Every structure is written in structure tokens, then in C-alpha cells.
Amino acid sequence: MTLVMSGETLRKSLARLLKMAALLATWGFILFILAMFTEFIMAPWDTAITQPDIGTWQRTLNDFFDLGPGQWLVATAVVLGNVYIAFRLWLKRNRLPWRFIINNALFVWLLFPLMMLAFRLNSIIFPYPDVLYDPNYRGYHLSIVPGVVALAVIAMWFMVQNRLHDKRKRKRQSEDVARAPDVSRLVDGEQLTGRQSAEMDNSLLQDAHSQ
């Protein structure tokens, strides 16, 4: 019996470790992917031969997301938001479902091809001039389409993950309703008891008058 219990405990511990490793792996991969796409989107002059003058808002913003902490700041904020959702879900369920980890993996799987399509669409909307080098081609107009696509995919990902928490809340509310006593039956029972008492009192009065 002790061996069976220890084996079951070991199996559960290994499952928790596997789940935690998978969760950390998805967060690490998401952090790297988002940091990479942040630089592509928010630092359009990265590796460019000519860049805006130092002190202009374009150069300041470009350097912040290229050389500064901006590249990792956005990615870290998004991952921490997902960590917060996971923490809330764990508090409610006392465990983290595999579906949450699978959704993280699906987010990366969906984000990467959609961003490639966004960059491809960008090159169609803003084609490169038929010259060897155009110093005025780079700019934040190239960030609109990829930025909108990235924000849309991240918002959809957060909505899907939040639904796991809301689904659990709705399930718990339905269970509470099912366990709640039927008030209508209680009221009917009280009315029936009252009628029975009144009938008994009337019969006693009738018997007293007859005597």
C-alpha cells in the first residue's frame, strides 16, 4: 500500500515538473520572439546606412527599441501579463490546466506566420523604389501593418487565456446554483403545512361544537 501511494505521489510530482518545464519553455520562447519582433517593428532604422539625426523623436525612439531596453521591455510586459493570468487561474483551480500551456504554444505558432505575412504585405503596400539605395525609405510608416497584426494576435491570446478563468468561474456558479435549496418547494411545503394545520383546527372546532 505504501509503495502504491509513493508511486502515485511520484507520478504526480513528475507531471507537475513536466508541466512547469513546459510552461517556462513557452514563456521563454514567447519572450524571445516578442523581443525580436519588437525590434523589427519599433526600430525601422536598425542596420540602416543612414539614420535620422540625433535628438529627433524618430532617432530617439529607434535607439530606445534598438539599443535601449525597449526591445525587452515590451516583451517582458506581455509575458508578465500572461504570468498574472496563470497565477489567477492556479489560485482558483489549485492547478494549471494543460490547455493554458497549449494556448501559449499556439500563440507562438500563430504569431510567427502572421507576422511574416504582415511584413510581406508591408512590402506590397510600401514597395522599395527602383534604385540601389533610398535613404528616405525607412520610417515608422513601415511599422503600422506589423504593429497592428502583433497587437491583434496578442489581444486574442489574452482573451482566450482569460476565458479559461471565466469558464471556471461560470462552472463554479452553476454548481452553487445546483447545490442551493429549491426555495419554491420550501414555500409550497410551508403553505401545505399551514393548510393542514388550519384543517386540523377546523376539525377540532367542529368536534367541540358537536359535543
Tell me the mean pLDDT in the region 29-58. 92
One-letter amino acid at 4 equals V
Task: Give residues with Cβ within 8 angstroms of 174, minimum separation 6.
Answer: none
Task: Give residues with Cβ within 8 angstroms of 10, minimum separation 6.
Answer: none
Mean pLDDT over each residue of the chain, to the nearest integer = 81
Angle between helices 70-93 and 57-66 (to 10 degrees): 60
Percent of the chain with pLDDT over 70: 75
**With contact defined as beta carbons under 8 Å apart, do 90 and 110 qualify?**
no
Q: What are the pLDDT digits (tens) for 136-186?
A: 889 999 999 999 999 999 999 999 988 886 655 555 555 555 555 554 554
Quick one: pLDDT at residue 13? 81
Quick one: pLDDT at residue 207? 57
One-letter amino acid at 208 equals A
Q: In sequence order, what DSSP letters do the residues of 92-117 get, joined into one string?
A: HHSS--HHHHHHHHHHHHHHHHHHHH
Sign, CA torsion 41/47/51/53: positive
Every domain of the chain and the residues it spans: 13-203
Backbone angles phi, psi at 52, to 5 degrees: -60, 160
Quick one: pLDDT at residue 84? 92
**With contact defined as beta carbons under 8 Å apart, do 96 and 86 qualify?**
yes
Residue with cell 513601415: 142
Q: What are the pLDDT digits (tens) for 55-84?
A: 999 999 999 998 778 889 999 999 999 999
Per the model's pLDDT, the better-predicted residue between 11 and 168 turns out to be: 11
d(CA 22, CA 29): 11
Total-model pTM: 0.72
Which of 63-67, 79-83, 109-113, 193-197 bottoms out in mean pLDDT, i.e. has the lowest?
A: 193-197
CA of 179: how far to CAs of 54, 171, 175, 182, 185, in Å? 68, 12, 6, 9, 14
Per the model's pLDDT, the better-predicted residue between 46 and 203 turns out to be: 46
Tell me the mean pLDDT in the region 103-127. 92
Which of 34-38, 95-99, 129-133, 141-145 bottoms out in mean pLDDT, i.e. has the lowest?
A: 95-99
Quick one: pLDDT at residue 46? 86
Quick one: pLDDT at residue 73? 92
Quick one: pLDDT at residue 176? 52
d(CA 111, CA 89): 24
Tell me the mean pLDDT in the region 194-211. 57
**With contact defined as beta carbons under 8 Å apart, do 141 and 122 qualify?**
no
